[in-house]
Amino acid sequence: MNVRKRLLTSHIAVILIVMILFGFFSFQIAKHAVIDKEMEIAEEITSAKADLLTREYQKVPDIDYLSRFLNLYGNDSDLFILLDDNNNIIAPKAVVDNSEILMWLNYLKNNIYDSYGKNHTELNDLTYIWALYPVENTPYKLVYLCADIDKETYPIIKQLMARMLATGIVILWIASWVSLVMSSAISQQLNKQRQKLERQATQDFLTGLANREYLQSTVDKALKGCDSNKKLLLILMDLDHFKLINDTLGHKVGDMLLKQLSDRLKKHFQDAIVISRLGGDEFAFAFFIANNYQAMQKIDKILSIVDRPFAIDSFSLDTKGSIGAAIAPEHGNTAMSLIRRADIAMYQAKESGGGFGIYDHEKDPHSVAHLTLMTDLRHVIENDQLDLFYQPKIDMKSGKITGVEALCRWRHPEQGMIRPDIFIGLAEQIGMIKPITLWVLYVGINQCKKWHRAGIPLGISINLSANLLQDSQLPSRIADALRNEGLPAEYLTLEITETAIMKDPARAMEILKQLDAMGIQLSLDDFGTGYTSLSYLKHLPVNEIKIDKSFVMDMLRDSDDATIVLSIIQLAHSMQREIVAEGIESSEIWDALVTLGCDTAQGFYMAKPMPADELERWLKESQWGLGEEAIAKLA
């Protein structure tokens, strides 16, 4: 039953109850008014009858004579009874033989005989009115008894009930009409309020998109329709540096940006199951897809829409988004699990600077496998489970090796080789990255010196973590390691990332200058993926710049990547820096980089990372072996 019907029913019920109560009390009042009136009449009749009997008794003091005067007045329902001082019935004699009258008298005896006056009582649904008066100057008293008929025979009450019935019908009709109008108005207001509350419960108040609760319920329902041919893609996205916009331009501008973005998303993704704002600058999308290729299409489209400038007041704002995605059913079968795993993928995308990521359970820091690895990782050094692999760096003019990059590998006793992108992230989470990096540094320097003793004049490149770059004791640690092994500083190259430098630029610059003064070579790794400005770059004491492999690997298919590679090479050369390209996996990319003037190459096309003993065999057998200049330099 809807609200309007409930209100109308309630109004009518209340009106009927009020009418019934009103009628009951009105009837009682009217009845007692009639009784009171009749008692007054009874009293007058009894008084007059008693006076008559007094006068007649004075004339003829005979009880038989008086009894003839008892029923001169009254009607069939009236009865006059003459009593003596002992309350015995004197007249009329017929009363003694009348069982019904005796029943009345026995029931009323205490009330009637105890005191003079008038009264009434109820018996067998009849009202009995009586009056008691003494017959003056005689030993007798007179009782007047009126057995009143049923209440429905009262004319006054009949009229009152008829009028009440008519009035009640009119009131009921008017009240019903008023109730209908009122209930309709109240129902409309309640419906509006209910709709408003439903919107508040399911929509984001700022953008009008769905909120987190509605996203979860909608995705949970949609998951029931997933199978091997119909998957569900859940995407989480947030805006990079949105806090900077709020802090610089104010929250009003930030809110306007979110509204514009929401309008774009609603316009371009009408096929979405749901688009939601989870809070702040975080958005979520759900789509049905048939394969992972369609997932990438959706991700690319979202990123392209976010990349377009936003015109707000007098500002033109550029922003980018970071995306994490999870696909059902393989990544989860509930909305909560998909949201959590998409969030993990988004966090990893931010960490890597890649812009987007799809959930990989092997990288999930909250999975049971990762918790086990985190425990095992604390003991890798003392259990001698770490290995160093070495990937050659080839001079692109001579085609000969100039050095190697040391890359850490973890041999797990049960799981075998653990990918570096998995355990390096774990090491950073549990604070093991610093001891692992120092282990790589010491072992790498020791191996480099061994090669020199064996007549292999290679330099070695070692990656520095962001935490270690902030360690003020790093220069002295490296100096001690070089001195203990007797390795000249110029054979050591330390690779640092833009992200590591920008964590604390002032401290990083101070440490880099100390390392440069020691004669150590410095390389800026993964260039192009961070946020180093050109004005800052020119002050960095780096000897070489490494182009990130994400640009190199696709440079033949993507003209934008090719342009970026060319620009970086020209920039490095103009600043008197060597340029290293990593990620070379084909002869075509090698030839293209040679044409562009790249100095050094690194990639699977020449050689994959390998242990030290395999590298030594590779040097003897490969076309990319040591050059004559390197051998002469060693001599």
Distances (CA, A) of 559 to 87, 304, 563, 596: 133, 17, 6, 14
Task: Give the span between the Cα atoms of 253 and 463, in whole angstroms.
Answer: 41
- In this prediction, residue 158 carries a pLDDT of 59
Q: 309-318, 354-363, 624-633: which range is least confident on average?
A: 624-633
| pLDDT grade for 195, boundaries at 50, 70 and 90 | low
Alpha-carbon dihedral angle through residues 501, 577, 388, 520, given to the nearest 10 degrees: -80
- In the chain the domains, ranked by start, together with CATH numbers, are 3-156 (3.30.450.20), 212-359 (3.30.70.270), 375-496+506-519+615-634 (3.20.20.450)
Q: Write out the two tokens for 321.
A: 């988004």
- Angle ∠(550,316,537) on CA atoms, nearest 5: 45
Checking if the pLDDT of 228 tops 80, the result is no
Q: Strand, helix or coil at 141?
A: strand
Q: Write out the two tokens for 194.
A: 């209910």
- Angle ∠(250,254,256) on CA atoms, nearest 5: 120
Burial 87-111 (b: 16+ CB within 10 A, else e): eebbbbeebeeeeebeebbeebeee
Task: Give the span between the Cα atoms of 39 and 45, in whole angstroms.
Answer: 10
CA-based nearest residue to 524, from 532, 438, 61: 532
Query: How much of the chain exceeds pLDDT 90, in percent?
Result: 33
Distances (CA, A) of 590 to 74, 248, 598: 139, 45, 9
- In this prediction, residue 176 carries a pLDDT of 67
Q: Write out the two tokens for 550.
A: 């994400």
Checking if the pLDDT of 374 tops 50, the result is yes
| pLDDT grade for 45, boundaries at 50, 70 and 90 | confident
Asked if residue 246 lies in contact with residue 197, where contact means CB atoms within 8 angstroms, the answer is: no
- In this prediction, residue 91 carries a pLDDT of 76
- In this prediction, residue 615 carries a pLDDT of 94
| Residues forming a β-bridge with 459 | 403
Give the pLDDT confidence of 47-73 residue by residue, as tens digits: 888 888 888 888 878 777 777 766 554
Look up residue 398 and give its amino acid. Answer: S
Checking if the pLDDT of 430 tops 50, the result is yes
Cα distance between the two ends of the chain? 100
Distances (CA, A) of 560 to 323, 349, 552, 567: 21, 21, 11, 10
Q: Write out the two tokens for 115.
A: 């005191």
Task: Give the span between the Cα atoms of 459 and 491, in whole angstroms.
Answer: 4
CA-based nearest residue to 474, from 456, 498, 451, 500: 500
- In this prediction, residue 621 carries a pLDDT of 87
Residues 6+ apart with CB under 8 A from 154: 30, 31, 34
Give the pLDDT confidence of 323-365 residue by residue, as tens digits: 999 999 888 889 998 998 998 888 888 877 668 888 887 666 5
Q: Looking at the chain, how many residues does it have?
A: 635
- In this prediction, residue 427 carries a pLDDT of 83
| Residues forming a β-bridge with 323 | 237, 356
Name the burial class of residue 610, with classes exposed (0-12), middle (13-18) and buried (19+) by CB atoms within 10 angstroms of its CB: middle
Helix (H) or strand (E) holding 165: helix 155-202
Task: Give the span between the Cα atoms of 547 and 566, in whole angstroms.
Answer: 10
- In this prediction, residue 52 carries a pLDDT of 82
Does 344 or 608 have the greater pLDDT score?
A: 608
Mean pLDDT of the 601-619 span: 94
Q: 122-126, 354-358, 418-422, 536-540: which range is least confident on average?
A: 122-126
Structure letter (DSSP) for residue 330:
T
Strands laid side by side in the 282-289 sheet: 274-279, 282-289, 231-239, 321-328, 356-358
Checking if the pLDDT of 246 tops 80, the result is yes
| pLDDT grade for 115, boundaries at 50, 70 and 90 | low
Alpha-carbon dihedral angle through residues 340, 344, 350, 351, given to the nearest 10 degrees: 150
Cα within 13 Å of Cα(224), Cβ side: 4
Task: Give the span between the Cα atoms of 81 and 90, in whole angstroms.
Answer: 8
Q: 83-92, 152-161, 313-322, 489-498: which range is least confident on average?
A: 152-161
pTM: 0.50
| pLDDT grade for 298, boundaries at 50, 70 and 90 | very high
Q: What are phi and psi of 21, to 5 degrees?
A: -65, -40
- Angle ∠(563,565,570) on CA atoms, nearest 5: 95
Checking if the pLDDT of 378 tops 70, the result is yes
Asked if residue 341 lies in contact with residue 328, where contact means CB atoms within 8 angstroms, the answer is: no
Checking if the pLDDT of 609 tops 60, the result is yes
- Average pLDDT over all residues of the chain: 82
| Residues forming a β-bridge with 521 | 493
Residues 6+ apart with CB under 8 A from 376: 412
CA-based nearest residue to 287, from 208, 219, 212: 219
Q: 398-402, 430-434, 491-495, 516-520: which range is least confident on average?
A: 430-434
Q: Strand, helix or coil at 314?
A: coil
Q: 36-50, 112-126, 457-471: which range is least confident on average?
A: 112-126
- In this prediction, residue 483 carries a pLDDT of 94
Task: Give the span between the Cα atoms of 332 and 339, in whole angstroms.
Answer: 9
